[in-house]
Amino acid sequence: MVDETQDEIGNLLEILTTAKEMGDKVGEGQVYCHLSEAFFRSKDFKKSLEYSLKGLSVVKEIGDKPWEGRIYGSLGHAFYRMGNFEQAVKNHTKELCIAKEMKDRAAEGRASGNLGNAHNRLNNFNEAIEYHKLALSIAQEVGTNLKREMPTEIWGPCMTVWVISNKP
């Protein structure tokens, strides 16, 4: 996995160079996001943040809202993994706002689950429960298979909320 991720990073850096040379801002913003995700998988969260911020600058410049939302999600994940849960909440909140603006219910569900996790780590348990309930509700609405399509960090707490909410 490590070698594959390093190969991926090398390939993405080459693509980034080409996108910049061609003046392809859309491609540049997307490659920054993919680089952020690759560094995240390799557990280099500082590099993940660095590339997310570069990507965010580009996608905001060109007005690419879907990618802006995705990058806020990446920022939230990196901050969460680094233990900065306040920044995770801030970025996942922006992710959620953009998902709502774009009327992307699946993205709303993911962002809500992420917010639930971050609030849980901040001991904001009422907020965590509400966001997990929302994530579960949206997942059921859009037909998301929680175990297959959402990370365990999201569907696990959602299912716990569901069990608690449905006790007689």
Model pLDDT, residue 72 = 98
Q: Is the separation of the CB atoms in 80 and 95 below 8 Å?
A: no
Question: Of 38, 62, 64, 66, nearest to 52 (Cα)?
Answer: 38
Domain boundaries, the chain: 1-63, 85-168
CB atoms within 10 A of CB 130: 16
State the fold for domain 1-63. Answer: 1.25.40
pTM listed for this prediction: 0.85
Model pLDDT, residue 92 = 98
Distances (CA, A) of 168 to 73, 140, 151: 36, 21, 28
Model pLDDT, residue 142 = 87
Question: Of 13, 78, 92, 84, nearest to 45 (Cα)?
Answer: 78
For residue range 23-81, what is the model confidence (pLDDT) as tens digits?
999 999 999 999 999 999 999 999 999 999 999 999 999 999 999 999 999 999 999 99
